[in-house]
Structures are given as C-alpha cells and as structure tokens.
Amino acid sequence: MSWEENVRKVTPYTAGEQPSGKVIKLNTNECPYAPSPAVSERMRCLAEMEAGTGAGMLRKYPDMNATALVKAVSEVYGIPEDRIFAGVGSDDVLSMAFMAFFNSDTPVIFPDITYSFYDVWSELHRIPYRTLPLDEDFRIVPEDYLCDNGGVILPNPNAPTGVFEDPSVIEKIIDFNRDRVVIIDEAYVDFGGKSVLPLIDRYDNLLVVQTFSKSRALAGLRIGLAFGQEKLIGYLKDVKFAFNSYTMNVPAIELGAAAVRDTKYFEETVRKIIRTRERTKKELRALCFSFADSEANFVFAAHERKPAEEIFKELRARSIYVRWWNKPRISNHLRITIGTDEEMDTLFKALKEIVS
Amino acid sequence: MSWEENVRKVTPYTAGEQPSGKVIKLNTNECPYAPSPAVSERMRCLAEMEAGTGAGMLRKYPDMNATALVKAVSEVYGIPEDRIFAGVGSDDVLSMAFMAFFNSDTPVIFPDITYSFYDVWSELHRIPYRTLPLDEDFRIVPEDYLCDNGGVILPNPNAPTGVFEDPSVIEKIIDFNRDRVVIIDEAYVDFGGKSVLPLIDRYDNLLVVQTFSKSRALAGLRIGLAFGQEKLIGYLKDVKFAFNSYTMNVPAIELGAAAVRDTKYFEETVRKIIRTRERTKKELRALCFSFADSEANFVFAAHERKPAEEIFKELRARSIYVRWWNKPRISNHLRITIGTDEEMDTLFKALKEIVS
C-alpha cells in the first residue's frame, strides 16, 4: 500500500492562459483599465505606515470582519453592514455559500451552460446537482426553475453567454423558491444589467454575489461580496469563521475600501467599456459573427463559416488571446473580452484577415 | 419547510480577541516587531506602478502559481521550486492538505492538546480522526504514533504548549508511516526549534508546513507554505487549482517575496524574540509560574496558587490580553505571547500585583 491511494482524485482545472510578453489579452474578462487612483494612493499610505515604527498593520492578523471594506460598501451601496459579507474573490464567497446553504438531498439547479465552477463546488461539498438546458438562444427557461430543488444558482448576466435576464424574471424564480436559498451571481451586472439587490428587502432566501475583479479592475486583489438579509449573512459568516477566520488580507480590505468609494471613476470606466462593447458588436456583425446580445464585458460569438477553434488558433498565432471551450453546444463560440479601443481595433483587423 | 433547514450547522469559532485602543496584546502570537523594511519598500514600488498608465498588476488575475514568492523562497531556502506550495496562510495550506491527502476510512491521528483547527478541518472534509493524549509534561508519546492510521499531523513546536520534539523523534514517526502522509506543522519552528525540512529528500510522504505570520511578522498578509517532494506538491496543487485557482493576491505574492529575501532582518527579529522569551521564563519562574520549556514565541504557564481564569481576567482589566481556554487539561494555563521587552515589563509588574 502507498500513501498515494488516499490522495483525492480531482479533475485538473484549465484556466484561461496568462501569457507574458506583448500580447493582447482578451481571454479572462479582466478590466483593460487600471483601478481607481485612490487605490495606489492608499497603497502608498499603507507603505508609509509600515515604514514607520510599529504603526503598521501587516504584523497583526487582519480584521476577520473586514470592517473597513464592509463599511465603505455599506455607505456607497446604501445597504446596512450586517447585510454584507466579504470574501477572497467571488469564487471564495460562492464556494462558502454552497457549503452554507446547499445541504439538501434534493439536487441544486443551475443552467447547463454557465460558470464552470458551480459543478466543481457541488462535487467538492458533495452536493447533488442538476443542470437545466438553456434554450437555442442561450436564454434560461424560467419555468424550469419552478420545481422541487435543493437550491438555485443563476448568474445574471450569464457567463460565458453575456445574456441578461430582467429582474422581474429572476424575481419569479426567487418567489417560487422561498423555502430554498437562491443565489444570483452578478459578477458582470455593472456593465449594463440591473441588479436584483433591491429585492433582498423582500426575500430572506436571496443571496446576491458581486465581485471587484471586473468592473472595479481589481482581479489581482481577490475581493468578492455577498448581500442578503441579516440572518442569511449571519449563517454565511458562521460557516466562514468556523473553518478559516482570516482569509482576506490587509491590502485587500484597505485597497478595496478605497476603490469602492471612488464612484465617479467606477462609472467612467464602466461607461468606456460599454461604449467599446457596443462598437465591438457592430464590427463583429459586419464580419459575419452572430451572438446573443451581451450586457457583460465580453461577447460570446460564432462565425457563420469559420469554425471557432480555427479562429482561436489563428488569433493566438497573432498574439491575441480569446477564450474557446471544446464543450458541447458552445464549441463553435469564442468568448471575447472587451479591451481598450486600440486593442479591439487590432482584433478587428486580425479577424478581417482570418475570416475573409 | 424553510430554507433554514438546509443550512449547515457549525460550531462558531472563538478567535483571540482583537481589541482596539491602547492595549498590550499578547494573545494571538503575532510578532511584536514590524516586518522587514523591504516590505514597505516593495509596497511603495507597487503603488508607483499602479499610479502609472496600465503598468499596474492589480487589474489582472494574480499568478496562480505565486511564482515570484515561490522563486524567492526557493532561493533563500535552497529548495527547488517544484517542492514548494504557497497558500493563504498556513490555515489554507493545511486545510487543502487535509482535503488532498486524508481520504482514508482509517482515522487520522494528532495530539489531544494541539492547534484547534485540526478537528475542525477533519469534520469539514468528513475525515475520521482520533486524538492521542500528551503525557503529564505535555509531551507526545512517540510510540502512540506507530499504529494503523489514515495520516498523521503534528505541530512542532506544539501549540499551545510550545514544546519542541527533536527531529530524530519525528523522523521515527515519518519512517513508520511511509504509506500515509505525515504533515509536520512548523508554524513556530523559527524560534529555536529545528526544522525537519532536510528530511523531505528522504521521505516522499512528508509534508512540512510553515507560515509568514509569526517569525516574518506578516500575519496581515496571509502567507503559508508547504514543502515536500515534487509528487506530493503536485497533488496539492491539483486539489487547490481544481477548487479555487486564484486565492493569493498580488500584494501577498509580491510583499512576501520581498520579506523572505531579507534574511538578516528575519534573523535579528527572531533573536530579539528568543532573548525576550528566555527573560520571560526567568521572570515567570520567580513569580511561581511553571511551564513546559517553550521553543515558540509564547509560554504556556500555570501559577502554583492562583487559577488561570482569575489571572486572565485581572490582566484583561489592566488592558493586557493573554489567551485562556476553558478546556479539559489546560484550563489552568495561560498562553502568553512574547511581546517587546517594554510590553513584557508591564506584564511582569501586573502579574506581581495579581499573584501576590
């Protein structure tokens, strides 16, 4: 016998490539612009404090409640602090929420085409699950979610499709499922969608998850948030603190707080990305791409003649990285992150050559 | 029926208090000195990059392999990069290791008096476990660990006792258990103990875990490390990446790398703490405290007359925080972190009043 027999078997994860050198990186939905200048300002300030004599914050454990960040979010969003939970990116928040709320023998439900970690966390926490097919236009079939289940998770806008469902559609699902927790994953909601955050007043079974990795340009800091009524957030905290109390580090808490307070910069950044996205849609259409209308910071497009895999490889040869999955139903699609206008112009030029 | 029926039931965690205001904080084993000046220097440098135009690192996802940090550790420790794993504090590293390596139906084993998260993670990952009693002097009974088991975890020095076992004792346990993974948790090893790191060459079942939270004064950054042979580390990475690829953020990776390279500062800090600890032992003995000899940055002491709970409360009333647990076998002990010489002088003065 060997110790290897007791090693946990996992399916290795394939992340979007993180190439170095001079490339155009449109494959991981990062923000093409820097975070708010308030972030570097605060970082300089923290550096000063650390350089001083003992006034620094790094030698001590971080505040496990991430109060500075939660307070800032509370003020900016107009939501009480005890309705806010912060974690190490929305991946951490979601995994924690799966663990906290999905403890039924009845399967949790989510779309067949969606964020690739939902089934991973279900398996990690031994949660039964069932996927519900999107329709031909990559839209959810709302009635499918009015069924017996152990919990619901829905991204809105969905990924990698970019398709957004109106809050009224989502509300019906939340309302039907009042005896289970419904998680709405709003990672991309800032790019033109409408949040269901106002619904937390009415539904104690609703958890809304957001992230600083996209619209706030802070993927490198790992900050995710969850919003819900006090009781729901309380349970989430209990689970988090029971297993690992100190996960968000001091820079994440402090720089995240600085970023969220700069509403003006945030709105400008989002506006720029939306403008570039709408221009991208026009250009892609002209090149004979089709796609469901996207309200995210990416477009999920298929070409009318040229297979996605070929386009993907030819772009890669030109140092332009987009995302392609060799998976049922979506293997002819490319997910293209919205970059700067200059980056997109280079993309359009390359695509013109590739598809003609 | 309500959604609350499916909420995971947990035992809430009680952390060492994090009081604010002017207090003497000897309750969470933090380092009383600031981290290396190289840390604030690097932070200033990162702030400059972020303030510039697009050269910043925060908008992008962090390097999931934490290469900058792993490279620095590799150079300083003289251990190849593929034998090093980095995570969000040793809590994250250990929890991940439990999940990766302890998948047997036979119970894993660890001491009855030890770090309070081992049983928590066992329960989290549904791992059967069995605790083995320390002897009357709070030492492990090495023969107890030569038995059928599903894996072994031992802290050395142990916490909260501070007792250190010679690597030759540990090696016998590793050697006997070659068909299971043995984890040695060396959170406190830098304060006078001796690491079993050299043994990883000889034993492919040995995982050594360390942290930057104590001797490197970076509890606020959350950095933990694991060392082992390539195969063992490979399995650990597979598990980590499968469930959450991006957990260490950019500041942790970059500032951690800067800290580990400053060997001189590290050695000076550790030397100061050891000197203060030895003085603390003398003072405590003079005040009729007894304790097992500690090789950590704390002393675990009991008074010959006055109950620990009373001392704990009277110290607290004087704004001096130490740690006390109302648990079997240790309820008459206080765990006192080694602070600065000034802080310890204030403590001795207070104790003199309290116990006389």
Classify residue A1: in a domain, yes or no. Answer: no
pLDDT of A242 above 80: yes
Q: Kindly indicate whether the ipTM for this predicted assembly is greater than 0.90, answering yes or no.
A: yes
Same domain, B308 and B212: no
B161 contacts B325 by C-beta, under 8 angstroms: no
> Are residue A290 and residue A333 in the same domain, yes or no?
yes
- pLDDT (tens digit, 9 = 90+) per residue, B123-138? 988 899 999 999 999 9
Residues B249 and B269 in one domain: no
Chain-chain contact of B61 with A235 (C-beta, under 8 angstroms): no
* Residue B301 banded pLDDT, cuts 50, 70, 90: very high
Residues of B in contact with A54 (CB under 8 A): 33-34
Tell me the average pLDDT across A41-70: 92
> Which residues have C-beta within 8 Å of that of residue A124, sequence separation ≥ 6?
A95, A98, B243
From the CA of A249, how many Å to the nearest CA of chain B?
5
Candidate from A18-27, A341-350, B120-129, B264-273 with smallest mean pLDDT = A18-27
Q: Same structural domain for residues B199 and B255? A: yes
Specify whether A253 is located in the same domain as A273.
no
- The CA radius of gyration of chain B, in Å to the nearest whole number, is 21
Kindly provide the b/e burial profile for residues B299-326, where b requires at least 16 CB atoms within 10 angstroms of the residue's own CB: bbbbbeebebeebbebbbebebbbbbbe
Contacts of A120 in chain B (CB under 8 A): 242-243
pLDDT mean over A117-131: 93
Q: How far is B52 from chain A (nearest CA, A)?
A: 9
Which pLDDT band holds residue A259 (cuts at 50, 70, 90)?
very high
* Model pLDDT for residues A66-109, shown as the tens digit of each residue: 999 999 999 999 999 999 999 999 999 999 999 999 999 999 99
- In whole angstroms, give the CA distance from residue A87 to residue A35: 19
Nearest CA in chain A to B126: A125
Among B261, B283, B318, the domain-final residue is: B261
Average of pLDDT values for A246-265? 97
CB A156 within 8 A of CB A170: yes
The rounded distance, in Å, linking the Cα atoms of B331 and B309 is 8
Q: Which amino acid is at A205?
A: N
Average model confidence (pLDDT) across chain B: 95
Sheet with strand B224-227: strands edge to edge: B84-87, B224-227, B206-211, B182-185, B152-155, B108-111, B129-132
What is the average pLDDT across B313-334? 97
* In-domain check, residue A130: yes
Percentage above 70 pLDDT, chain A: 99
pLDDT-derived band at B33 (thresholds 50, 70, 90) equals very high
Indicate which of B1, B2, B5, B8 best probes the interface with A, i.e. most A CBs within 10 Å of its own CB. B8
CATH number of the domain within which A117 lies: 3.40.640.10
Q: What is the pLDDT of residue A54?
A: 66
Give the closest of B4, B92, B126 to A244, CB-based.
B92
Closest CA to B193 of B273, B280, B106, B89: B273
B208-220 residue pLDDT tens: 999 999 999 999 9
User: Based on the domain organization, do A256 and A268 belong to the same domain?
Assistant: no
User: Is B155's pLDDT higher than 80?
Assistant: yes
pLDDT tens string A149-207: 999 999 999 999 999 999 999 999 999 999 999 999 999 999 999 999 999 999 999 99
What is d(CA B302, CA B282) in angstroms, rounded to the nearest whole number? 14
- Residues B195 and B157: their CA atoms lie apart, in Å, by 10
Domain that holds residue A112: 38-261
Q: Domains in chain B: how many in total?
A: 2
Structure-token match 């042979």, residue found: B229
For B32, the token pair is 């009383």
Q: What is the pLDDT of residue B20?
A: 74
Give the closest of B7, B213, B219 to A103, CB-based. B7
Structural tokens at position A248: 């968000």
**How many Å apart are CA B246 and CA A221, to the nearest integer?**
10
For residues A302 and A318, membership in a common domain is answered with: yes
Tokens at A147, concatenated: 């069924």
In the sheet that holds B298-303, the strands lie side by side as B289-291, B298-303, B334-337
Q: Residues B348, B289: contact at Cβ < 8 Å?
A: no
Q: Looking at the structure, tell me whether residues A108 and A134 fall in a common domain.
A: yes
User: Cα separation of A115 and B207, whole Å?
Assistant: 33
């006192």: which residue's tokens?
B336
Angstrom distance (rounded) from CA B140 to CA A26 = 55
Domain boundary among B226, B261, B296: B261
Q: Mark residue B184 as left, alpha or beta (left: phi above 0; alpha: psi -120 to 50; beta: remaining).
A: beta
pLDDT-based confidence at residue A18 (cuts at 50, 70, 90)? confident
CB B162 within 8 A of CB B292: yes
Nearest-CA distance A323 → chain B (Å):
15
Whether pTM > 0.90 for this model: the answer is yes
Between CA B335 and CA B17 the distance in angstroms is 13
- Write the residue in A3, A11, A89 that is nearest to B180 by C-beta: A3
Which residues in chain B are contacts of A37 at CB distance < 8 A? 51
The residue length of chain A stands at: 356
Q: How far is B163 from chain A (nearest CA, A)?
A: 24
Which neighbouring-strand residues pair with B291?
Answer: B301
Q: Are residues A149 and A174 in contact, defined by beta-carbon separation less than 8 angstroms?
A: no
Best residue in A41, A59, A118 to probe B by mutation, most B CBs within 10 Å?
A59
Q: Is the pLDDT of residue B54 over 70?
A: no
| A170 domain-assigned | yes
B173 and B218 fall within a common domain: yes
Same domain membership, residue B320 and residue B340: yes
Whether A246 maps to a domain, the answer reads yes
Residue B321 in domain? yes
Report the CATH number that the domain containing residue A337 is assigned in CATH.
3.90.1150.10
Residue indicated by tokens 């003289």:
B78
For chains A and B, CB pairs below 8 A equal 272
| Residue B285 maps to a domain | yes
- Residue B87 falls inside a structural domain: yes
Q: Residues A204, A228: one domain? A: yes
Q: Does any domain span residue B286?
A: yes
Mean pLDDT of B198-216: 98
- Residue where a domain terminates, one of B234, B261, B288: B261
Same domain assignment for residues A192 and A48: yes
Q: How far apart are CA A112 and CA A93, in angstroms?
A: 21
List of chain B residues whose C-beta atoms are within 8 Å of the C-beta of residue A31: 59
Query: What digits encode the pLDDT tens for the residues B62-99?
Result: 999 999 999 999 999 999 999 999 999 999 999 999 99
